Amino acid sequence: MTSLPVIPIGPDSPASRRAKMPPRHLADLDLAGRQELVTSLGEPAFRARQLSNHYFGRLVRDPAQMTDLPAAARERLAGELMPTLLTPVRELACDDGATRKALWRLHDGALVESVLMGYPDRVTVCISSQAGCGMACPFCATGQAGLTRNLSTAEIVDQAVYLAGVAASGVVAGSPPRLSRVVFMGMGEPLANYARVIAAVRRLCAPAPEGLGLSQRHITVSTVGLVPAIRRLAEEDLSVTLALSLHAPDDDLRDELVPVNQRWKVAEVLDASWNYAARTGRRVSIEYAMIRDVNDQPWRADLLGRLLAGRLAHVNLIPLNPTPGSKWDASPKPVEREFVRRLRAAGVSTTVRDTRGREIDGACGQLAAAEDDKGGVPA
């Protein structure tokens, strides 16, 4: 069995405190904080609103395009409030360009990935909250890589803003030009970087120029089941979707697949999730990777159905995506269909996730931030 040390869920883990965090960025601050910073630089407070409108409203980073700012102040203000946080290393595309995975290098050399997915009615971005992940789930490439550090609020937000600019450029044919959804399902356990993730959510949802202006209902925060953090999230007065990576309905198997289950068992995790649903009125998304001959037995479908029946929940079955060195494979389609049938017979809403991005290692569980991927398109 894989053992996992319990990771602190406060604003900073010890590992994060030791890491050198990136320079301050306007996305780390609310509008009042930006105004205070601008005035400390000897500029009028309204310059903060102008800079914020360029970044969040126009998706512009180049000081030369900020023509409403005095020429003499542009470079200095942009340098102080909009330092480079993410350096593009490579972009990979598949699905006729509708799925695009970006690899970024951070200021300290750490690597993270995020994915843009274009659909006829929406554009969704999957972003990372940590460089690596400390949860050690054995079927997930990110979890096997280990944790490097937490990302700052601005490093999290900047992924969404950058890819919102990609969508706005029109390169994702057949999709709207505006980003509409963000899912915290990239690298890392979001609730292990709690304070910065919540700050990022608030920044993404604040109206421009303070933020990106997304609907809270179009934000999804994923977790493997950090119970105290789930309960804390229920107190935040947010209406984001909680996605619980369950992957097994019984403790014996979940202890192995999701090692944090050794600390918080299935019953505790589901109780915290139902509390979140009751407090917010939001349906909980139960994420379940279908792994051949591991968690796809009919009796496990029946047990999951009994656990979820009558609850405000939806099951999202995920065909296991291949990862290097994995000993497991996806469940056969007939097994998957029988699993779906049994859940629906129990009255549980169930769908099977689209495996977008699999060819570029951009699908669920595949993000590993490797520099030697082939077939890259310069970002």
Residues forming the active site = 113, 364
The 10 Å Cβ neighbour count of residue 263 is 16
Burial code (b: 16+ CB inside 10 Å, e: under 16) for 299-325 equals ebbbbbbebbeebbbbbbbbbbbebee
Q: Look at residues 181, 184, 180 and name the one whose alpha carbon lies nearest to residue 199.
A: 184
Distances (CA, A) of 187 to 42, 143, 169, 229, 358: 39, 8, 25, 18, 16
The full 3-state SS of the chain, as one line of letters, equals CCCCCCCCCCCCCHHHHHCCCCCCCHHHCCHHHHHHHHHHCCCCCHHHHHHHHHHHHCCCCCHHHCCCCCHHHHHHHHHHHCCCCCEEEEEEEEHHHCEEEEEEECCCCCEEEEEEEEECCEEEEECCCEEECCCCCCCCHHHHHCEEEECCHHHHHHHHHHHHHHHHCCCCCCCCCCCCEEEECCCCCHHHHHHHHHHHHHHHHCCCCCCCCCCHHHEEEEECCCHHHHHHHCCCCCCCEEEEECCCCCHHHHHHHCHHHHCCCHHHHHHHHHHHHHHHCCCEEEEEEEECCCCCCHHHHHHHHHHHCCCCEEEEEEECCCCCCCCCCECCHHHHHHHHHHHHHCCCEEEECCCCCHHHCCCCCCCCCCCCCCCCECC
Question: What's the one-letter identity of residue 280?
Answer: T
- CB of 203 within 8 A of CB of 157? yes
CA distance 291 to 331: 5
